[in-house]
């Protein structure tokens, strides 16, 4: 009887912890997305110049590893906003480039709507079914290195359709990451809401940028 009570109490505590992490993650995600969108809007309005590749690389990984180091500290929240703000700033010049197209506003709004639909749909699926998506870890690891090699190849070789293929690959990769990260929270594999938020934000960012690139190419060919 005592063993049964212990198991029940443990399950209740575990469920409460999962609910806490989910609540904090989605709350922080909503705030960082809003902040990132605001920064992107101001960068777009000010006609900010695109950030160089090295600046993007150093800025992103520097802030990411700093957030990982401070994930159990209140300072981790500040770094999370710094990282998402930095990524939002990088969107400003990108949005201007697409908005300068004849039907650029439709491309941007379509990419935004599709990103929201994909994220909400995938999240709802995992939250409803509570399926364990840990089997996707191998696909995510392999996909990361394949995409890394493809991006590196795009710098040295002019291959027709490669950029479109990379964007499509990032859509699948980001979708898998959303499934995996949401499942990790539910299954107890992720207990830090700051890192969970950053992981989901990066997936949403990559998903939006990739859809923007795909729709931009399709639209320009019409």
Q: Please tell me the predicted confidence (pLDDT) of residue 40.
A: 94
pLDDT surpasses 70 at 7: no
Instruction: Tell me how far the alpha carbon of residue 115 is from its chain's centroid.
Output: 10
pLDDT per position as a tens digit, 125-176 = 999 998 889 899 998 999 889 988 888 887 777 776 788 888 999 999 999 9
Return the structure tokens found at 84. Answer: 């998402």
pLDDT surpasses 50 at 98: yes
Q: Averaged over 69-75, what is the pLDDT?
A: 91
pLDDT surpasses 90 at 99: no
Q: Please tell me the predicted confidence (pLDDT) of residue 6.
A: 44
What integer best gives the mean pLDDT of the chain? 87
Q: Please tell me the predicted confidence (pLDDT) of residue 164.
A: 87
pLDDT surpasses 70 at 13: no
- Residue 13's CB: how many other CB atoms inside 10 A? 10
Radius of gyration of the chain (CA): 19
pLDDT per position as a tens digit, 167-211 = 999 999 999 999 999 999 888 777 889 999 999 999 999 999 999
pLDDT surpasses 90 at 75: yes
Q: Averaged over 52-65, what is the pLDDT?
A: 90
Higher pLDDT, 42 or 17: 42
Q: Please tell me the predicted confidence (pLDDT) of residue 204.
A: 96
What kind and span of H or E run contains 194? helix 193-221
Q: Please tell me the predicted confidence (pLDDT) of residue 8.
A: 45
Q: Please tell me the predicted confidence (pLDDT) of residue 11.
A: 55
pLDDT per position as a tens digit, 112-124 = 999 999 999 999 9
Cα–Cα nearest to 208, from 121, 109, 133: 109
- Residue 163's CB: how many other CB atoms inside 10 A? 15
Question: Hunting for tokens 């709507």 — which residue is that?
Answer: 113
Question: Whole-prediction pTM value?
Answer: 0.90
Q: Please tell me the predicted confidence (pLDDT) of residue 2.
A: 47
pLDDT surpasses 80 at 216: yes
Instruction: Tell me how far the alpha carbon of residue 30 is from its chain's centroid.
Output: 12
pLDDT surpasses 80 at 5: no
The answer to whether the beta carbons of residues 31 and 194 sit under 8 Å apart is no
The answer to whether the beta carbons of residues 128 and 179 sit under 8 Å apart is no
Ordered alpha helix ranges (H), the chain: 2-45, 53-69, 74-99, 104-129, 137-156, 162-187, 193-221
The three-class DSSP label of residue 49 is: coil
- Residue 76's CB: how many other CB atoms inside 10 A? 20
């Amino acid at each position: 009887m005592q063993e049964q009570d212990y198991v029940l109490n443990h399950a209740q505590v575990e469920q409460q912890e999962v609910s806490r992490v989910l609540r904090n993650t989605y709350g922080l995600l909503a705030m960082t997305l809003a902040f990132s969108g605001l920064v992107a809007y101001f960068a777009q309005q000010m006609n900010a110049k695109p950030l160089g590749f090295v600046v993007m690389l150093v800025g992103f990984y520097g802030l990411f590893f700093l957030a990982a180091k401070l994930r159990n500290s209140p300072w981790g929240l500040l770094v999370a906003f710094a990282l998402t703000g930095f990524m939002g700033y990088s969107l400003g010049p990108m949005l201007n480039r697409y908005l300068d197209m004849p039907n650029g506003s439709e491309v941007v709004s379509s990419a935004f709507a599709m990103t929201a639909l994909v994220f909400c749909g995938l999240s709802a699926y995992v939250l409803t079914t509570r399926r364990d998506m840990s089997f996707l870890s191998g696909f995510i690891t392999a996909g990361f290195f394949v995409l890394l090699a493809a991006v590196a190849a795009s710098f040295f070789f002019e291959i027709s359709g490669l950029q479109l293929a990379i964007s499509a690959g990032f859509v699948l990769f980001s979708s898998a990451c959303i499934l995996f990260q949401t499942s990790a929270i539910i299954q107890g594999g992720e207990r830090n809401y700051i890192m969970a938020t950053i992981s989901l934000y990066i997936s949403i960012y990559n998903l939006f940028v990739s859809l923007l690139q795909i729709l931009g190419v399709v639209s320009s060919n019409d």
